[in-house]
Amino acid sequence: MLRYHKQTRILVAIDCIILGFDGHDLKLLLVQRGLEYEKGKWSLMGGFVQKDEDFEKGSARILKELTGLEGVYMEQLFAFGDVKRDPYERTVSVAYFALIDIHQYEKQLNADYHAEWFPINDTPRLIFDHQEMVDMAKEKLRYKAAFHPILFELLPEKFTLPQLQSLYEGIFDCSFDKRNFSRKLQSTKLLIRQKDKERLSSKRGAYYYKLDKRRYAANFHAFLNLIPNPGNLK
């Protein structure tokens, strides 16, 4: 078999940043590392790309093997190639991030690798450059939240305005005035109010809403009014 002459072989890994929303908090899914080096420490879901698979297949396989999750939204984030990022062996990592509604997938999680959800702003120390990956995923999510219905991948099909506000506050790490946030949401005219209410959080209850995907496609920029300092989005 022909090979490139005198070239160094480098390992290629996949790391998966799984973000989920439980109706109250934005969370990050972590596992305890199974490999001997740094074994037992908290890590993103990761593994090596096999010679017979592309990155998309590799990321789906790794995610399923380590968590049991499959069929979730996945998007390539960035390639991390610092020479010293993995002190054990030269490894380039292609990071992916996924967004899920925790309640929709919680029964899929297996316990083999001790997968556990942590609040996004209260995570344990991560190995290697995994925190850098998480921070970049958060920035990417903030950007896409303004221009794409990707945010609704984190929500059930129908949701309340308080749930949506909690999600925005978790993503942008700030607080919104309840009345002002609700007023801005209503002004977008992109949410369809349902007849039923969620009554577990209060006696009065809060109406459920659904995203009007047809109108959103034509007027997606309406959600920019909800974003703090939209001019800083990258």
Q: What's the residue count for the chain?
A: 234
Please choose, from the candidates 214, 172, 166, the residue with its C-alpha nearest in 3D space to the C-alpha of residue 192.
214
pTM of the model: 0.85
Of 145, 168, 201, the domain-final residue: 145
CATH value at residue 214: 1.10.10.10
Q: How many Cβ atoms are within 10 Å of 177's Cβ, its own excluded?
A: 10
Residues whose CB is less than 8 angstroms from the CB of residue 1 and which lie 6 or more positions away in sequence, other chains included: none
Judge whether 100 lies within some domain.
yes
Residues 138 and 224 in one domain: no
Of 45-49, 74-78, 127-131, 181-185, least confident by mean pLDDT is 181-185
CATH value at residue 92: 3.90.79.10
Residues 128 and 193 in one domain: no
The encoded tokens of residue 88 equal 């054990």
Q: How many Cβ atoms are within 10 Å of 95's Cβ, its own excluded?
A: 25
Query: What is the C-alpha to C-alpha distance for residues 197 and 199, in angstroms, rounded to an integer?
Result: 6
Of 105, 121, 145, the domain-final residue: 145
Per-residue pLDDT, 54: 96
Of 118, 145, 172, the domain-final residue: 145
Q: Do the strands 191-198 and 206-211 form a parallel or antiparallel pair, or are they unpaired?
A: antiparallel
State phi, psi for 50 to the nearest 5 degrees: -85, 155
Task: Answer yes or no: is pLDDT of 198 > 80.
Answer: yes
Judge whether 162 lies within some domain.
yes
Domain that holds residue 179: 157-232
Task: Answer yes or no: is pLDDT of 73 > 90.
Answer: no
Q: What is the mean pLDDT of residues 166-186?
A: 88
Q: What is the mean pLDDT of residues 43-51?
A: 94
Task: Answer yes or no: is pLDDT of 213 > 90.
Answer: no
Judge whether 30 lies within some domain.
yes
Of 78-87, 133-142, 206-215, least confident by mean pLDDT is 206-215
3-state secondary structure of 157: coil
Task: State the DSSP code for 222.
Answer: G
